Amino acid sequence: MPARQFLAGIVFAALGAAFFSTKAIFIKLAYQDQVDAALMLAYRMIFSLPVFATIGWWAWAQRRERGEPPPTWEQIWRAAFVGFLGYYVASQFDFAGLMFITAQLERLVLFTYPLFVMFLGAMLYGERVTAFGLVAAAVTYTGLGIVFLIDLPDGGRDTVIGTLLVLGAAVSFALHQIYAKRFMAPLGSALFTSIALASASFFCIVHQAVVSGGNFAASPRFLWLAAGCAIVATVLPTFLINAGLARISSAAVSMISTVSPVVTIALAVWILGEPFTLADAIGSALVLAGVGLYAWGENART
């Protein structure tokens, strides 16, 4: 792989992880006005959809100019399915989980998705689970258990519900990663991402319309925060991370993404005023170390 391409992949993945880490902050701030996960997700996708459509149209036009054949219906449906998994199912779980737990715990739980990639890859495609990966998983979930137990006395049942919801998001996003890596190449990252996110937008908007009876009422502040979540924490990181995946391995992207929880924790303490104790720091460090070690080991194998 050319050094320039590898460096570009690292930069794209790092920027994508940093922007993506702001998502929970936007959501928590919006919930101060109106606690409605489905509404927040619907507006996130409403504000994102014009960007996805524009970039998708541009990517389609570029294919035609290069004389490439149009995408097949199978390729389009595969991209739509990946979007449904990663940005509708996973996001519904994630946004609902943030109604119950802190932004810090949410980010750490969601951050464990590379380990689900390992286990699900073994189940679906017979990929090898290494001893190194199992050790990394043990370290990660020891750290996650520490942070969970710290939050449990104050949060009680809400902490359990929120953590389980975000774990559902992690599993769904892991499936998204597995299939995206396999289905992206024929379409290219820009067109694939546009189709995937447009599909997710459709499902999110319809979901809100059905569960609310067509009620999309929200305060101006809620709408501004939803717009910020759409552009800063959705559009930019989605295209940056997929651009990174197109240039470097998914394991390398996972390793670089260790910056994401650090940024979320810092923003949660600074902006939301969430507490951060020494025990939180130890638990968070173990989660970061476990996932980082797993990604490093996987990257060394490729």
Residue 206, C-beta contacts closer than 8 angstroms, at least 6 positions apart: none
Q: How far apart are the first and last CA of the chain?
A: 12
Of residues 163 and 131, which shows the higher confidence score?
163
Residue range 229-249: mean pLDDT, rounded: 83
Please give the pLDDT value at position 92.
94
Q: Which of 302, 299, 74, 52 is nearest to 183 (CA)?
A: 74
The predicted pLDDT at position 260 comes to 82
- Closest C-alpha to 106, from 233, 220, 209: 233
Q: Which of 12-21, 32-41, 84-93, 196-205 has the least mean pLDDT?
A: 12-21
Distance CA 100, CA 169 (A): 14
Q: What is the pLDDT of residues 135-187, one digit of tens each?
A: 888 888 888 888 888 888 888 889 999 999 999 999 999 999 889 888 888 88
* pLDDT(302) > 60: no
The Cα–Cα gap between 299 and 1 comes to 14
Reported as a single tens digit per residue, the pLDDT across 46-57 is: 999 998 899 899
**129: three-class secondary structure by DSSP:** coil
- Averaged pLDDT of the chain: 87
Give the pLDDT confidence score for residue 167 in this predicted structure. 94
Between CA 227 and CA 112 the distance in angstroms is 27
Sign of CA dihedral 220, 226, 229, 234: negative
Contact 241, 193 (CB under 8 A): no
CB 91 within 8 A of CB 200: yes
* Amino acid at the residue 283: G
Closest CA to 48 of 184, 237, 216: 237
Highest mean pLDDT among 179-183, 236-240, 264-268: 264-268
What pLDDT sits at residue 111? 84
198: enclosing H helix or E strand: helix 189-212
pLDDT at 299: 62
Residue 278 half-sphere exposure toward CB, CA atoms < 13 A: 0
Looking at the structure of the chain, the number of domains it has is 1
Q: How long a stretch of residues is the chain?
A: 302
Q: What is the pLDDT of residue 209?
A: 95
Q: From CA 82, how far away is CA 136, in angstroms rounded?
A: 27
- Give the pLDDT confidence of 243-254 residue by residue, as tens digits: 887 787 766 776
Q: Comparing 37-51, 83-97, 216-230, 287-301, which segment has the lowest mean pLDDT?
A: 287-301
| Residue-number span of the structural domain to which 122 is assigned | 3-301
pLDDT at site 225 = 95
Q: Is the pLDDT of residue 1 over 60?
A: no
Q: Which of 10-19, 162-171, 228-237, 256-265 has the lowest mean pLDDT?
A: 256-265
